[in-house]
Amino acid sequence: MPPPEPVQAPVPSPPSGQGEGLYGLTSSLVRAVAAALDAGDDGRVRDLIAPLHQADLADLIERFKPDERQQLIAAAGAMFTGEVLAELEHDVRDDVIERLDTGEVAAAISELDTDDAVAVIEDLDAPQQQEILQAIPDEERVALEEGLTYPENSAGRLMQREVLSLPSFWTVGQTIEFMREATDLPEEFYKIFVVDPRHTPIGTVRLNRLLRTRRPVRLQDIMLTDLKIIPAATDQEEVAYVFEQYDLISAPVVTASGRLIGVVTVDDVVDVIHEEAEEDLMRLHGVAEPDIYRAALQTAWGRFTWLLVNLGTAIIASIVIYQFDGTIDQMVALAVLMPIVASMGGNAGTQTMTVAVRAIATKDLIQSNVLRVLGKEFIVGGINGVVFAVLAGAAAGLWYQNLPLGLVIGGAMIINMLVAGLFGLAIPVTLWRLKIDPATAAGVLLTTVTDVIGFLAFLGLAGLFLL
């Protein structure tokens, strides 16, 4: 099935419906397709989806329930290309692949560039993967199997193997002739890689430079040598950093011995940047991955672990309170006020932690400035600690007409805000030093600390000074 050439009006129609943008699906289209599917009118479905870009068709498929998806894909026929399959969100793709014949899936996958094909294949479970690989033509299968030998989330998985590499002594004229005659070039590329006899990349020639140079000039005389070479085993997070830092469009990928084997392009990296930032956000909040298209039971299960850990830490906080039940029994106001100190510490710590997690990801926080930033967070915690000690102390003192109670909550607030600033930084930094993703468990650890210290400081000071 060849990808259909999308036909679209060059000037976008005005966005329809609230919160909808320039491009992408509109709610009215989704409703129209739903109605046509309900009526079993496949012709109408095809007319409606014909103008859609493949990425939008993938989004449309995601919007429906599993059985409707099957019906939609059947109606789409040849419009359901490998590209559409590759654009589907992970959970939905699993579901769709299960409902298709192995032959259909294999045909769709073989249309794709190696990077996209590997991305589809790698998510499948092993027997399914084998079954589909067997149905793919030999040459492509070998390329895919080789792609799968690289570690998950590595540059080797991300790269496409289709790359134009030429020796440095070739002239511009030779290069242009070669490009005119070659039939297996990538459809879209922005640079030619220049390699030495060992096939190690030594430079790049931008196509605009090639176009603007006279034919007898050699590639070595117009190539740029400021290469950012990426070993195939490099983690995708590091790849994304290199692209962002140096504003790259593409970068050569090499074996351990420096041989050019592929190219990573910015469109794949855009997806990685998106994923990695999203991953930090999700992990901080105990969601394994975006689960909007997952069934309720799986969603509940995916969120269970974090909630269980949170139950554990909440019980730890309760045990701390339990140590002071005699104190609370004598003065019930303490029970009323104690969540304030814990909550403020949790929030202040989370602010610090959020900044730290992102600063580690962007390499703004490195070994050489950790101590300075720690000192700063201590001061920030101190400033806001004093400010909120006064505010909370005044509020509590006035509420209960009890100055010592105000002083106790104020003192506890200062202690907890200082602790929050220190641990908000120290927890992600320690995880990072231990080579654990700083976002993963930082949130639970931190709120455990701020809850425990919050209750301990407040109830402890109250026990000492109020009774």
Q: Print burial letters for 188-217: b (CB count within 10 Å at least 16), e (below 16).
A: ebebbbbbeeebebbbbbeeebbeebeeee
Report if residue 222 touches a second copy, rule: CB under 8 A: no
CA dihedral 428→432→434→439, nearest 10 degrees, is 60
Binds a second copy (CB under 8 A): choice among 100, 222, 355, 374: 355
Report if residue 422 touches a second copy, rule: CB under 8 A: no
Report if residue 328 touches a second copy, rule: CB under 8 A: yes
Q: Cβ 27 to a second copy, closest distance in Å?
A: 4
Binds a second copy (CB under 8 A): choice among 125, 138, 184, 188: 188
In the complex with a second copy, the residue whose CB is nearer, 147 or 252, is 252
Q: Cβ 345 to a second copy, closest distance in Å?
A: 10
Binds a second copy (CB under 8 A): choice among 98, 369, 436, 467: 369
Report if residue 367 touches a second copy, rule: CB under 8 A: yes
Task: Specify whether the CB–CB gap between 64 and 94 falls below 8 A.
Answer: no
In the complex with a second copy, the residue whose CB is nearer, 136 or 236, is 236
Q: Cβ 333 to a second copy, closest distance in Å?
A: 7
Q: What character string, x for contact with a second copy (CB under 8 A) and - otherwise, covers 265-294?
A: -xx-xxx-xx--xx-xxx-xxxx--xxxx-
User: Which regions of 282-366 does DSSP assign to beta strands (E)?
Assistant: none
In the complex with a second copy, the residue whose CB is nearer, 7 or 126, is 7
Helix axes 66-76, 54-63, angle to 10 degrees: 150
Radius of gyration of the chain (CA): 29
Q: Looking at 41-49, 104-112, 134-142, 359-367, which segment touches a second copy (CB under 8 A)?
A: 359-367
Binds a second copy (CB under 8 A): choice among 47, 152, 221, 325: 325
- Residue 129's closest CA among 115, 151, 144, 143? 144
Two tokens, residue 212:
């603007």
Report if residue 206 touches a second copy, rule: CB under 8 A: yes
**Tell me, what DSSP letter sits at residue 15?**
P
Q: Cβ 199 to a second copy, closest distance in Å?
A: 13
Q: Print burial letters for 383-409: b (CB count within 10 Å at least 16), e (below 16).
A: ebbeebbeebbeebbeebeeeebbbbb
Q: Looking at 13-21, 73-81, 119-127, 146-154, which segment touches a second copy (CB under 8 A)?
A: 13-21
Report if residue 22 touches a second copy, rule: CB under 8 A: yes
Report if residue 27 touches a second copy, rule: CB under 8 A: yes
Binds a second copy (CB under 8 A): choice among 38, 98, 131, 364: 364
Report if residue 66 touches a second copy, rule: CB under 8 A: no
Tell me the C-alpha distance between 47 and 200, whole Å: 50
Report if residue 167 touches a second copy, rule: CB under 8 A: no
Q: Print burial letters for 89-102: b (CB count within 10 Å at least 16), e (below 16).
A: bebbbebbbeebee
In the complex with a second copy, the residue whose CB is nearer, 143 or 260, is 260
Report if residue 20 touches a second copy, rule: CB under 8 A: yes
Q: Cβ 135 to a second copy, closest distance in Å?
A: 27
Report if residue 23 touches a second copy, rule: CB under 8 A: yes
Tell me the C-alpha distance between 161 and 193, whole Å: 13
- Residue 259's closest CA among 204, 198, 203? 198
Q: Cβ 131 to a second copy, closest distance in Å?
A: 29
In the complex with a second copy, the residue whose CB is nearer, 105 or 353, is 353
Residue entry with tokens 């859609």: 52
Tell me the C-alpha distance between 122 and 225, whole Å: 34
Helix axes 66-76, 42-49, angle to 10 degrees: 80
In the complex with a second copy, the residue whose CB is nearer, 103 or 312, is 312
- What residues between 382 and 411 interact with a second copy by CB under 8 A? 383-384, 387-388, 391-392, 395
Helix, strand, coil shares of the chain, percent, nearest 5, are 65, 5, 30
- By CB under 8 A, the count of residues binding a second copy is 151
Two tokens, residue 466:
């109020």
Rounded to 5°, angle at Cα 251 from 247 and 256: 135
In the complex with a second copy, the residue whose CB is nearer, 133 or 269, is 269
Task: Specify whether the CB–CB gap between 172 and 210 falls below 8 A.
Answer: yes
Which amino acid is it at 219? L
Q: Cβ 244 to a second copy, closest distance in Å?
A: 6
- What residues between 97 and 116 interact with a second copy by CB under 8 A? none
In the complex with a second copy, the residue whose CB is nearer, 143 or 192, is 192
Q: Cβ 355 to a second copy, closest distance in Å?
A: 6
In the complex with a second copy, the residue whose CB is nearer, 94 or 145, is 94
**Tell me, what DSSP letter sits at residue 435?**
T
Binds a second copy (CB under 8 A): choice among 82, 147, 201, 428: 201
Task: Specify whether the CB–CB gap between 452 and 320 falls below 8 A.
Answer: yes
